[in-house]
């Protein structure tokens, strides 16, 4: 049991270190850009007086280490600064968009897994037969079709032609209906790598000795596949799912653009183009934090799926 707590402890420590690292990088963005950090944060339109006021307020005239501590203190208090372009508090701007992206990403990745894993299993079980080719063909199609093609296609079919699903949210309310089309677009895109990894992993697992041993013991094949082999095969699949989820979180910019979805991806891109650095900083921080959390969760999930990790404390 000590090894479980040890493992957990290690992972959480690693998470904290990652978060500190991310916050440091985000903090340094302003200081690494050419020019005066206070001017960069105030924007090209501010008067020199306003720049000096901001410089003092944010402590940009103090030593770098002190500045970093101030920065972290402000972050932990929820003070994320103000947008240069609209002068609205960054927290307000980002939270709404981030929650939307979160909803969309969770929906998308869940759907991806629901589509991808079974397809991968079916392909593996019917290796080299026509069903396998078909599934892998679908996977290649999914990976190589540009996502905006999938997105526009969905919009054309379900909104324009059939009028059964909204193409965008006009009222700002992101409910289940508004998530469906962009979610499917993301899911079709993400299901492909999941299916491929599941298939490859299943195939590898099925050749393992313990599978043959179990079968020779007379355990029903179905039990062998779904209870024993699949669980092990899922480990690398969980990694892929974690990675894809991270990608979705960073904001599936193209999907968001096509569906005019108020998500984080578009916010970040817009902020970069309009040189709205406070928004860029905090946006990146949100994404990095969530990604680190998700990966930690994935690692903890490993522990649940693979008893070997539990016992040996982390090495496989």
Partner 1 sequence: MHRGISKTISGIILLLIIVGIVAGVYMYQSGGGGKQQSSSSSPSQTATAATKDTLVIAMGTDIVTFDLHDASDNPSYMVGRMIYEYLVDLDQNMKIKPGLATSWDIKDNGSVWIFHLRKGVYFQDGTPFNAYAVKVNFDRLLTHKLKRSSLFTPFIKEVKVVDNYTVEFDLKKPFGAFLYHLAHGAAAIMSPKSIQNGDPKTHPVGTGPYMLEKWVPGDRIVLKANPNYWNKAKAPKFKEVIFKIVPDDQTRMRLLQSGDVDVALRIPPQYVKELNQTNGITVYVKPTNRVIFIGINNLKPPLNDKRVRQALNYAVDKEAIIKSVLFGYGESATSPIAPLTHGYCKAGYYKYDPDKAKQLLAEAGWKDRDGDGILENAQGEKLHLTLWTPRGRYVGDYEMAQAVQQYLQAIGIKVDLQVWEWGSYVKELFKGPNQTNRELFLIGWAPSTGDADWGLRPLFYSKMWAPHGANMWFYKNPQVDDLLTKQIQLLGDQRLQALCQAQKLIYDDAPTIFMVVMHDTFGVKDNVKGITYLPTEIVVFKYAYWEG
* Interaction site with partner 1 (CB under 8 A): 83, 85-88, 93, 96-97, 119, 122, 125-126, 131, 134-135, 138, 152-153, 155-157, 159-161, 163-172, 177-178, 221-222, 257-260, 262, 266-267, 270, 273-275
What residues pair up with 89 in beta bridges, in sequence order?
82
Nearer to partner 1, 3 or 159 (CB): 159
With 0-12 / 13-18 / 19 or more C-beta atoms within 10 angstroms meaning exposed / middle / buried, residue 168 is: middle
- Tell me the closest approach of the beta carbon of residue 155 to partner 1, in angstroms: 5
Give the relative orientation of helices 176-206 and 90-125 as an angle to the nearest 10 degrees: 40
| Token pair for 4 | 């479980």
| Token pair for 226 | 């779904």
Q: Using the structure block, give the residue that is written with the tokens 């996977």.
A: 139
- Tell me the closest approach of the beta carbon of residue 161 to partner 1, in angstroms: 4
Nearer to partner 1, 214 or 309 (CB): 214
Nearer to partner 1, 176 or 217 (CB): 176
**Contact partners, residue 85, CB within 8 Å, separation at least 6:** 43, 271, 274, 276, 279
Nearer to partner 1, 122 or 243 (CB): 122
- Tell me the closest approach of the beta carbon of residue 26 to partner 1, in angstroms: 20
Inter-residue contact 256 to 108 (CB < 8 Å): no
Q: Which of 212, 156, 214 lies closest to 181 in space, CA to CA? A: 156
**Contact partners, residue 196, CB within 8 Å, separation at least 6:** 120, 136, 139
- Tell me the closest approach of the beta carbon of residue 86 to partner 1, in angstroms: 5
- Tell me the closest approach of the beta carbon of residue 1 to partner 1, in angstroms: 38
Rounded to whole angstroms, the Cα distance separating 309 from 234 reads 14
- Tell me the closest approach of the beta carbon of residue 157 to partner 1, in angstroms: 5
Nearer to partner 1, 93 or 241 (CB): 93
Inter-residue contact 225 to 125 (CB < 8 Å): yes
Q: Which of 30, 42, 47 lies closest to 284 in space, CA to CA? A: 30
- Tell me the closest approach of the beta carbon of residue 127 to partner 1, in angstroms: 12
Inter-residue contact 148 to 254 (CB < 8 Å): yes
Nearer to partner 1, 55 or 97 (CB): 97
Q: Which of 144, 111, 128, 129 lies closest to 245 in space, CA to CA? A: 111
Nearer to partner 1, 63 or 218 (CB): 218
């Amino acid at each position: 049991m000590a090894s479980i707590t040890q493992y957990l402890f290690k992972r959480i420590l690693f998470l904290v270190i990652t978060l500190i690292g991310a916050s440091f990088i985000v903090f340094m963005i302003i200081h690494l850009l050419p020019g005066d950090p206070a001017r960069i944060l105030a924007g090209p339109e501010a008067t020199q007086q306003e720049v000096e006021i901001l410089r003092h307020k944010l402590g940009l005239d103090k030593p770098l280490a002190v500045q970093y501590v101030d920065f972290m203190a402000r972050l932990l208090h929820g003070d994320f600064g103000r947008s240069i372009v609209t002068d609205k508090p960054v927290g307000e701007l980002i939270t709404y968009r981030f929650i939307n992206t979160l909803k969309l990403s969770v929906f998308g990745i869940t759907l991806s897994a629901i589509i991808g894993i079974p397809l991968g299993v079916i392909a593996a079980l019917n290796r080299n037969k026509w069903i396998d080719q078909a599934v892998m063909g679908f996977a290649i199609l999914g990976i190589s079709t540009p996502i905006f093609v999938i997105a526009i296609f969905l919009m054309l079919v379900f909104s324009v032609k059939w009028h059964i699903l909204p193409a965008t949210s006009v009222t700002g309310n992101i409910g289940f209906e508004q998530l469906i089309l962009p979610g499917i677009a993301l899911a079709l895109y993400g299901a492909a790598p999941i299916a491929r990894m599941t298939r490859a992993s299943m195939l590898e697992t099925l050749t393992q000795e313990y599978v043959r041993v179990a079968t020779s013991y007379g355990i029903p094949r179905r039990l062998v596949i779904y209870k024993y082999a699949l669980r092990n095969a899922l480990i690398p699949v969980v990694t892929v799912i974690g990675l894809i989820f991270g990608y979705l979180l960073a904001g599936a910019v193209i999907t968001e653009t096509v569906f005019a979805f108020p998500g984080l991806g578009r916010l970040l891109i817009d902020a970069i183009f309009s040189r709205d650095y406070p928004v860029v900083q905090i946006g990146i921080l949100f994404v990095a934090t969530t990604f680190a959390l998700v990966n930690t969760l994935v690692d903890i999930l490993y522990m649940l799926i693979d008893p070997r990790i539990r016992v040996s404390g982390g090495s496989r």
